[in-house]
Structure 1
Amino acid sequence: MTGAETSALLGPADIRRLAEELDVRPTKKLGQNFVHDPNTVRRIVSTAALDSRDVVLEVGPGLGSLTLALLPAVERVVAVEVDPVLAERLPKTVADRAPTLADRLTVLTADALRVTADQLTQPTALVANLPYNISVPVVLHLLAELPTMTKALVMVQAEVADRMAAAPGGRTYGVPSVKIAWYAEARRVATVPRSVFWPVPNVDSALVLLTRRPTPDADREAMFRLVDAAFAQRRKTLRAALATWAGGADQAAEILTRAGVSPGARGETLTVGDFAAITRMAGKARP
């Protein structure tokens, strides 16, 4: 990073001033909690292990705290913001505080749950403070839609972070854990205090680092339906939980046995590889 490639980060007073200027009142509906601590956004950029060639996708840039920290570190930032008022103001904030970096920013006014690859510039990384209420669906959608995205660092509710990064065998392991594992290795890497946000949320936050890996040898949509069925009734054995999915408990037991999985096991004990094996076997068993 050269001396010219710097930006003036936003502090608490800057965040309040911008919000007042725009008449922005953070809403729970949009999951808006703005980061106002420069040290936190620096820490996020450092933890993401970015390099100057990365094209970073940022979802929900809000008032621009993280955007300003990202721009000096990468080739380009593509910011997807659903709020048109915030999306319109972001380029001006960057031009005011980091004029030499303004040409590195592209802002797209769109819903991250519906954005498509052809709207973006082949991002290599996702770095975002995600709205709590849609964090897992957004991550899954972007991993599916953007094969060029090889890594991600997302800030989410701490409880969600635990589920995203959970390993088989624990109570937090479930549908999000398996579906994330289809695409990437996920690790919870840091806790973020509530005090760095405005307004202060009533839950803790955490950073989850995702590293893309080869997907299993199975049909993704079929496997995701299997995973949904396996965890719909967590207390039941897979033989019982998958009865409707397989067309009967005996058929479920047969598919499981052929896949090398005990019919008496429960979904939370299976790896993503186990679910892929069951999916492949189910495909062979059905006409």
Structure 2
Amino acid sequence: MAEQSSGYLGAAQIREIAAGLGMRPTKQWGQNFVVDANTVKRIVRLAGVGQDDVVVEVGPGLGSLTLALLPEVGHVTAVEVDPTLAQALPGTVGRLAPAYADRLTLVQADAMQVRELPDPQPTALVANLPYNVSVPVVLNFLELFPSIERVLVMVQLEVAERLAAAPGSKAYGVPSVKAAWYAAVRLAGTVPRSVFWPVPNVESGLVLLERRPAPSTDASRRDTFTCIDAAFAQRRKTLRAALSGWAGSAPRAEECLRAAGVDPRTRGEQLGIDEFAAIAAARAALGPTTPGD
């Protein structure tokens, strides 16, 4: 196999490794491999990670981003669902970046099923995420691993825009509000289709999340997220109507909203995470519903 002294994988090397493994990218696992060295360098730069960081990478695939991360950070824990790719990655790193092979830990698992990771615990999530699981992976990892301070992920551009959207904007929705519980979120850039093999049917975007304290509220994250889901399930309705089932009745929803300082005629797309947390706290303070409510 041809090897690059730089340690980065180009299109020819990616196809060569894949052919040697007898595999082709599958839609089932959302596999689109980055074949451009400048793109993975850009991801690492925008992630702002350094030698003090432990990066968890979800979906390392054939190793393009892994090879770019290893010289720059203290450790990489790579979570790969495809058993063939998981088995091959340490060998690829050993050939192309032998000086950094001891910085890699491979976890062969479905990221959606991961509940714990081996030490050292991650300080950052940096990944080219499979589009079909990108939002739940980001939210789950922020919930499960409070040590993660920064997230830089490449996802479908539409998803990146949703995650980074502000209240009142067209793209604003459930992912936007839930991500804001954990972090300040912004769109960090776009990525052309041409850097992938195979070339996807959609544009990609880079989204940066920097952890911040959760809203100051007596409501739990779970209760707040349930409120958010209810508000956006009927997003064209006013919150008085949309939250009536969640609160127990329309009058009770209005009571919760007024207690939280929110106009009952407001729609969910106009509120930020702090307002939703206040509404959830108001409902908890009112206590359980009764038949007369």
**If the TM-score is normalised by the length of the shorter chain, which range does it land in?**
over 0.9
Alignment of 1:28-43 (within 5 A): 28-43=27-42
Contact 1:55–1:123 (CA<8 Å) still a contact in 2? yes
Letter of the 1:79 counterpart: A
Deviation, 1:101, is 0.5
Partner of 2:56: 57
Partner of 1:286: 287
Partner of 1:266: 267
Give the SS at the match of 1:79. Answer: strand
1:222-280 residue CA offsets vs partner (Å, 9 max, x unmatched)? 11110000000111000000111111111101110111001000000001000010011
Partner of 1:87: 86
Give the SS at the match of 1:73. Answer: coil
Deviation, 1:170, is 1.1
Partner of 2:227: 226
The verdict on how the C-alpha distance between 1:114 and 1:120 changes in structure 2, with shifts beyond 3 A counting, is farther
Contact 1:236–1:266 (CA<8 Å) still a contact in 2? yes
Unaligned ranges ≥5, structure 1: 1-5
1:36-58 residue CA offsets vs partner (Å, 9 max, x unmatched)? 00010011111111111100000
Q: Distance in 1 between matches of 2:12 and 2:246?
A: 55
Deviation, 1:117, is 2.6
The verdict on how the C-alpha distance between 1:120 and 1:82 changes in structure 2, with shifts beyond 3 A counting, is farther
Letter of the 2:249 counterpart: G
Give the SS at the match of 2:201. Answer: coil
1:24-70 residue CA offsets vs partner (Å, 9 max, x unmatched)? 11111100000000010011111111111100000000000000000
Give the alignment's TM-score, normalised by structure 2: 0.95
How many aligned residue pairs are there?
Answer: 282
Q: Distance in 2 between matches of 1:24 and 1:35?
A: 16
Partner of 1:137: 136
Letter of the 1:57 counterpart: V
Q: Distance in 1 between matches of 2:6 and 2:143?
A: 32
Contact 1:188–1:207 (CA<8 Å) still a contact in 2? yes
Contact 1:57–1:78 (CA<8 Å) still a contact in 2? yes
Deviation, 1:119, is 3.8
Partner of 2:291: none
Unaligned ranges ≥5, structure 2: 289-293
Q: Distance in 2 between matches of 1:122 and 1:105?
A: 13
Partner of 1:3: none
Q: Distance in 1 between matches of 2:9 and 2:122?
A: 25
Q: Distance in 1 between matches of 2:230 and 2:170?
A: 17
Matched, 1:164 2:192: no
Letter of the 1:267 counterpart: G
Give the alignment's TM-score, normalised by structure 1: 0.97
Alignment of 1:1-287 (within 5 A): 7-216=6-215, 217=217, 218-287=219-288
Contact 1:7–1:69 (CA<8 Å) still a contact in 2? no
1:134-158 residue CA offsets vs partner (Å, 9 max, x unmatched)? 0000001000000000001000000
Q: Distance in 2 between matches of 1:51 and 1:8?
A: 18
Give the SS at the match of 1:117. Answer: coil
Deviation, 1:120, is 5.0
Letter of the 1:136 counterpart: V
* Percentage identity across paired residues of the two chains: 62
1:180-229 residue CA offsets vs partner (Å, 9 max, x unmatched)? 00000110011000000000000000100000000112300011110000
Deviation, 1:116, is 1.8
The verdict on how the C-alpha distance between 1:7 and 1:78 changes in structure 2, with shifts beyond 3 A counting, is farther
Deviation, 1:176, is 0.3
Q: Distance in 2 between matches of 1:78 and 1:7?
A: 21
Letter of the 1:233 counterpart: Q
